[in-house]
Structure 1
Amino acid sequence: MTAATVRLGAIGAGWWATSNHFPLFAARDDVELVGVCGKGDGLEAVREKFGFGFATEDATELLDADIDAVVISTPHDLHHPLAAQALDRGLHVLCEKPMTLHADEAWDLAARAERAGTVFLVPYGWNYKPFTVAAKRMLDAGAIGEIQYALCHMASPTRGLFGTDPTHMLERWNSDTAPDPTTWSSPEHGGGYAHGQITHSSALLFWLTGLRAASVAGRAITAGAPVDLFDAGVIRFEGGALGSLSGAATLADGDKYQVDIRLFGTEGVLMIDVERERVTLSRYDGRREELVIPEGEGEYECLVPPARFIELITGASRENNSDVTVAARSVELIDALLRSSAAGGADTPV
């Protein structure tokens, strides 16, 4: 890598990679797209469209190429082995969410990333919004004191995605490549609302607060779908705080995403509402504060995280709002939630 250019490889060339990541990286002067790894007859067309130097169906060939960093956008269950190989080669890694499906895999990647000393970023778009960044500054400054209770709710118009009909999501992202149903609606590959969506809200919660779950008593139901569409849990956090988690896949197509985080502390309350685009602080000493948020800023997009990944590698930024530790805390919570549900809702350690 020169001071100005990151030699980048990519593993996974499906819906999300081709609709979001590849166009962003291809437009940057400080990125050279060295190689792309994927499957199917369309791989060569992807290589040509985005200007990758070579295409291969062999992930090892891609990882052994002369690259500085890799983007992993494969089905969820493949993230851990591929990211582990990349880190062991000393590569910077952008790994799609959920980072892994199981807690032990997540913390294994955290340990490998620490040994490698390289950048590891999981692209959670809401973690980079100006209003969530401002909310975190409030929390870091002690605006609500010690957190005693946290509510974390998410709902989205994704019933078709997890029920094998991705038409609405395809229209939303304007991709030429349809989402692969085996990624989103197959239990074997980690499909379902918890892994597919609660990964967003929980990672936002953990980045904002620095909390870590100790245990969760959870329930998940499929409501006739192949995978979970509804999830709920009661969380005990390290340090004694209590929390509630909920998720629902069945907003009507076109409705705005709901991400609602409410934090109750020893000195006040902070509310973050993505749908209504508001952040409000109410302190017990009478101080009130509400952020001015431009209309539309709450809409989900993932433009900043890929750019930040490159900036972290080149030294242009030091702000990683979705590092391996944040991602691992999300994974271990979801892992425990689903294990708890399978055990009838028993309180389950992370």
Structure 2
Amino acid sequence: MSATIKAVVLSAGAWSQSSHLPALKADNRVDLVAISSPNAEMAAMLGRQFETRHFADWRDALALRPDIVVVSSPPVAHEEQVIAALEAGAHVLVEKPFALSAGAARRMRDTAERLGKALLVGFGWPAAPIFALSRKLIEAGEIGRIEHLTMHLAVNTRALLSGSTDGGWGGKAESNTATYTDKAISGGGSAAVTMSHELGMVEWLVGEPIVALNASTFPPASDIDLHTSVNAEFTGGGSAAISAASTHPYLARPQWHMALYGDKGQLWADSVADTLRLVRASGEVVEYGAPEASGVYDPGAPTKALIACAFGAPAPAGLTARLAAHVVAVTDAIYLSAKTNQKLQVETL
């Protein structure tokens, strides 16, 4: 491996401006050789800001034979761009939602595994200290076997999912609202956009896949749901109550509230309060606060992980395509369960 790697960002937009591109430019081992965007004005603006070539056609950027590729397009374009980047020899980071269907997710995952390339999906929350510490305590056996968990995530996406502003979290260039209001492009509303983070987090923390669920969404029968509730079961028999809500736009951190109940203890987490509490079966309470239990999100974390993979590091467990493919299967089951009002088994990928 050369001391310097070449990087491109495909379909760069508001989220790339605030996350992927700054992380790439901050690493002196990375040569950002191009960005692409179908929006010529956006491409030119980002090209100037990040001092790199820009193209309207993503294939022109890929023709530069980069070592790493960030795919920041809407989910409808992921499969074509991800597989093309992998077959061009690159390690790839793709944003979430990973895919519009479990079949597309499987094909991307299988291509990466066949070619021996890293394929990461933008689940960046496991890198936040509060969740990294939670997993460390779980792996140390502090709460024993997890029997039940509750998780709630509220994010200021209500207006965005309704076709208006993104509330400012997408950077100076606001997100394209069409990306979030057409299920054929985005994969859905709250369950796809927000709860996908939770589903990845839950399976990463518990270490078991969700195998059955029943779900409801609001508004009922809407293609773009604002709020989602799921009751889920794991392979080992444990259960979970998971919910996601879309709040009005304001510049506040995403609000995670999590509780895990095991046969040896409990964990409670509040990301906004930067608080993690461990309660052992003996009644002993251990409180953690910032910085070790900080709930601040690092938007560059997945991009940094991609760079590390290019230099030989293993893919972080919370960002793998195998995990993300199962999240897509769970999301498919959520929407079908909400539509049919039935408990469903989740497809095994």
TM-score between the two structures when normalised by the length of structure 2: 0.90
Contact 2:157 2:166 in 1 (8 A): no
The 1-side partners of 2:325 and 2:314 are apart by 22
* Equivalent residue number for residue 138 of structure 1: 137
Q: Deviations over 1:61-93 (max 9, x none)?
A: 333322111100001221122112222333100
User: What SS is found at the alignment partner of 2:240?
Assistant: strand
The 2-side partners of 1:145 and 1:324 are apart by 27
* Equivalent residue number for residue 161 of structure 2: 162
Q: CA deviation at 1:217?
A: 0.7
* 1:27 partner letter: A
Q: Deviations over 1:281-340 (max 9, x none)?
A: 212233432223239932333122212221221136764542222322322222210111
Q: How does 1:185-264 map to 2 (within 5 A)?
A: 185-189=181-185, 190-222=187-219, 227-251=224-248, 253-264=250-261
Contact 2:200 2:318 in 1 (8 A): no
Which sections of structure 2, spanning at least 5 residues, go unmatched?
none
* 2:51 partner letter: G
The 1-side partners of 2:328 and 2:267 are apart by 24
* Alignment counterpart, residue 304 of structure 1, candidates 301, 304, 316: 301
Contact 1:205 1:261 in 2 (8 A): no
Contact 1:7 1:32 in 2 (8 A): yes
* 2:62 partner letter: L
* Equivalent residue number for residue 110 of structure 1: 109
Q: Deviations over 1:145-165 (max 9, x none)?
A: 211112121112221111111
The 2-side partners of 1:34 and 1:21 are apart by 14
* Equivalent residue number for residue 64 of structure 1: 63
The 2-side partners of 1:104 and 1:173 are apart by 29
Worse overlay, 12-21 or 309-318: 309-318
Worse overlay, 289-298 or 239-248: 289-298
Contact 1:98 1:199 in 2 (8 A): yes
* 2:54 partner letter: A
* Equivalent residue number for residue 339 of structure 1: 336
Q: CA deviation at 1:138?
A: 0.9
User: What SS is found at the alignment partner of 2:202?
Assistant: helix
Contact 2:255 2:271 in 1 (8 A): yes
Q: Are residues 247 and 345 of structure 1, via their aligned partners in 2, closer, same or farther at CA, if it must alter by over 3 Å?
A: farther
Q: CA deviation at 1:24?
A: 2.2
TM-score between the two structures when normalised by the length of structure 1: 0.90
Identity %: 27
1:323 aligns with 2:320: yes
Q: CA deviation at 1:16?
A: 0.6
* Equivalent residue number for residue 272 of structure 1: 269
Pairs aligned (count): 345
The 1-side partners of 2:181 and 2:325 are apart by 22
Q: Deviations over 1:174-224 (max 9, x none)?
A: 41x221111112222124111111112222222222120112111112379
The 1-side partners of 2:100 and 2:218 are apart by 18
Q: CA deviation at 1:347?
A: 2.7
* 1:145 partner letter: G
Contact 1:101 1:195 in 2 (8 A): no
Q: CA deviation at 1:128?
A: 0.4
